[in-house]
């Protein structure tokens, strides 16, 4: 471990980034922070994993995960970002070689989308690279992005992504077909097929009205409850099913 850290320090790479791969793909190779500061164009918000060498003398690495937010303006003297994660207090962004400003978003309520805006030389603007916008009630718009997620393990269950948006998840790396059935789809096995994503986790997102719902997964023809949801009830045939509440 010490030899590995010394090697990183010797390369003079203050920050190294590992981007999360799209579902079903392997993780891409490491990117270094120098390359990030050489971006010529801003892009859509994307999840990354960051390794930072805090102190070259003592070689103390720190790993951070979050969403990379970028804004391009070569002529701007100062760009800041403000949002729900900072209680709308403007925070400085870092300028790259070609005028692309960067910020790593690491905080946010996982049940709600993060709202944010850029402050460019004193003028507020939404993120031109992010099509997801929300009306702020004052004649303008703020950009929105899902809060950074912690790395998932094997003990995953359903989660509330945002108001009335539920993501059903189950860890089954060897499965070939999984669907979710419940009160919301008349227990029809063909209505809601999950997609296998990176790490052997299957998932699907559904918008549900407020209420209480019973549900189960069908894993290669076998009906099973959501093992890591502690709320359960009986189904129509006396078996065990899981329960979720949307409100």
Mean pLDDT throughout 117-125? 96
**Average pLDDT along the chain:** 80
Nearest to 169 by CA among 100, 242, 234: 242
Query: For residue 58, what pLDDT is reported?
Result: 55
CATH superfamily of 2-146: Immunoglobulins (2.60.40.10)
Give the number of C-alpha atoms closer than 13 A to the C-alpha of residue 116, restricted to the C-beta side.
31
Which is more confident, 97 or 153? 97
Q: Which helix (H) or strand (E) holds 102?
A: strand 100-105
**pLDDT of the residue at 229:** 86
In the CATH hierarchy, which fold is given to the domain comprising 159-246?
A: Immunoglobulin-like (2.60.40)
In the prediction, which pLDDT does 233 show? Answer: 86
- pLDDT of residue 19 exceeding 70, the answer is no
pLDDT value at position 162? Answer: 72
The model carries a pTM of: 0.51
Looking at the chain, which residues constitute the CATH 2.60.40.10 domain(s)? 2-146, 159-246
């Amino acid at each position: 471990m010490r030899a590995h850290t010394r090697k990183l320090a010797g390369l003079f790479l203050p920050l190294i980034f590992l981007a999360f791969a799209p579902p079903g793909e392997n993780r891409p190779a490491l990117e270094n922070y120098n390359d990030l500061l050489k971006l010529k164009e801003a892009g859509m918000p994307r999840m990354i994993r960051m390794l930072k060498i805090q102190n070259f003398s003592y070689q103390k690495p720190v790993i951070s995960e979050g969403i990379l937010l970028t804004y391009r303006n070569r002529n701007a003297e100062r760009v800041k970002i403000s949002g729900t994660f900072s209680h709308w207090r403007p925070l400085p962004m870092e300028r790259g070689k070609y005028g692309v400003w960067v910020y790593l978003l690491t905080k946010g309520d996982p049940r709600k989308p993060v709202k944010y805006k850029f402050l460019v030389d004193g003028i507020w603007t939404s993120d031109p690279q992010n099509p997801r916008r929300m009306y702020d009630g004052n004649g303008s718009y703020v950009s929105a992005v899902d809060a950074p997620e912690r790395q998932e393990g094997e003990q995953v269950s359903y989660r509330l992504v945002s108001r009335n948006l539920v993501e059903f998840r189950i860890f089954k790396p060897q499965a070939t077909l999984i669907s979710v059935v419940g009160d919301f789809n008349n227990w029809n096995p063909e209505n809601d097929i999950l997609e296998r994503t990176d790490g052997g986790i299957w998932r699907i997102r559904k918008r549900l009205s407020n209420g209480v719902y019973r549900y189960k997964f069908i894993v290669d023809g076998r009906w099973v409850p959501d093992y890591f949801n502690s709320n359960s009830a009986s189904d129509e045939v006396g078996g065990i099913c899981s329960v979720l509440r949307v409100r």
